[in-house]
Homo-oligomer: A and B are copies of this chain.
Amino acid sequence: MKEQEFLNEIKEIQLLTEAIGLLEWDSQTGMPEASSDFRGETVGYISGMAFERSVGPKVQEALAYFEDHSEELSEVGLAVYNKVKEDYELNHSIPAERMQAYNTALTNAHAAWLKARKAKDFAEMKNEIQTIVDFLKEFIPYWKKDEATNYDVLLNQYEPGLTVEKLDQIFAQVKAGIMEIRTTVAEKGTVPRTDFLSRQVTKAQQRRFVSGVAEQLGYDFSRGRLDDTVHPFMLALNRKDARITTRWDETDFTMATFGVIHEAGHGIYEQSIDSKYDYTPLATGASMGIHESQSLFNEIIIGSNKQFWQKQFPFFKECTEGTFDDIDFETFYDSLKETKASLVRIEADSLTYPLHIIIRYEIEKMIFNEDVSVADLPQIWNDKYEEYLGIRPENDLEGIVQDVHWSGGSFGYFPSYALGYMYAAQLRHAMGQEIDVDTILASDDYSVIKNWLTEHIHQYGASRKPNQLIMDATGEALNPQYLIDYMKSIYYDVYKITE
Contacts and interface: CB of A to CB of B under 8 A. Distances in A.
Interface of A: 12, 15-16, 18-19, 22-23, 26, 30-35, 37-39, 41-42, 45-46, 220-225, 237-238, 240-241, 243, 278-279
Given A22-B23, A23-B22, A26-B26, A223 B35 contact: yes
A19 B19 contact: yes
B23 A19 contact: yes
The 4 closest A-B pairs by CB, nearest first: A35-B240, A35-B241, A38-B238, A15-B45
B32 A26 contact: no
A240 B38 CA distance: 8
B279 A31 contact: no
A221 B34 CA distance: 10
A42 B30 contact: no
Given A23-B22, A38-B18, A42-B15, A32 B241 contact: yes
Contacts of A224: 32
A241 B31 contact: yes
A26 to B, nearest CB: 6
B35 A26 contact: no
Residue from A221, A222, A225, A238 with most neighbouring chain B CB atoms (10 Å) = A238
Nearest to A45: B15
A26 B37 CA distance: 20
B41 A237 contact: no
B37 A240 contact: yes
A32 B240 CA distance: 7
A22 B26 contact: yes
Residue from A26, A38, A243, A279 with most neighbouring chain B CB atoms (10 Å) = A38
A308 B26 CA distance: 35
A46 B13 CA distance: 11
A202 B15 CA distance: 40
A23 B222 CA distance: 18
B225 A33 contact: no
14 contacts: A12-B45, A15-B42, A19-B19, A19-B42, A22-B22, A22-B23, A26-B26, A31-B241, A32-B221, A34-B241, A35-B237, A37-B240, A38-B240, A38-B241
A15 B48 CA distance: 12
Contacts of A30: 225
A31 B29 CA distance: 13
Given A19-B42, A32-B224, 10 more contacts: A16-B45, A18-B42, A19-B23, A19-B46, A22-B22, A32-B225, A34-B240, A35-B238, A38-B278, A39-B241
A15 B39 CA distance: 9
A165 to B, nearest CB: 42
A37 B275 CA distance: 13
Nearest to A238: B38
Contacts of A220: 34
A40 to B, nearest CB: 11
A32 B279 contact: no
Contacts of A23: 19, 22
Contacts of A222: 32-34
A61 to B, nearest CB: 20
A449 to B, nearest CB: 23
A46 B17 CA distance: 11
A241 B222 CA distance: 27
A31 B22 CA distance: 10
Contact of A223 (B32, B221, B279): B32
Contacts of A279: 41
Nearest to A33: B222
Contacts of A243: 32
A279 B45 CA distance: 13
Given A41-B279, A225-B30, A225-B32, A15 B46 contact: yes
Contacts of A237: 35, 38
Residue from A12, A240, A278 with most neighbouring chain B CB atoms (10 Å) = A240
Contacts of A19: 19, 23, 42, 46
B223 A34 contact: yes
Contacts of A240: 32, 34-35, 37-38
Contacts of A15: 41-42, 45-46
A237 B243 CA distance: 22
A19 B31 CA distance: 13
A153 to B, nearest CB: 34
Contacts of A45: 12, 15-16
Nearest to A20: B19
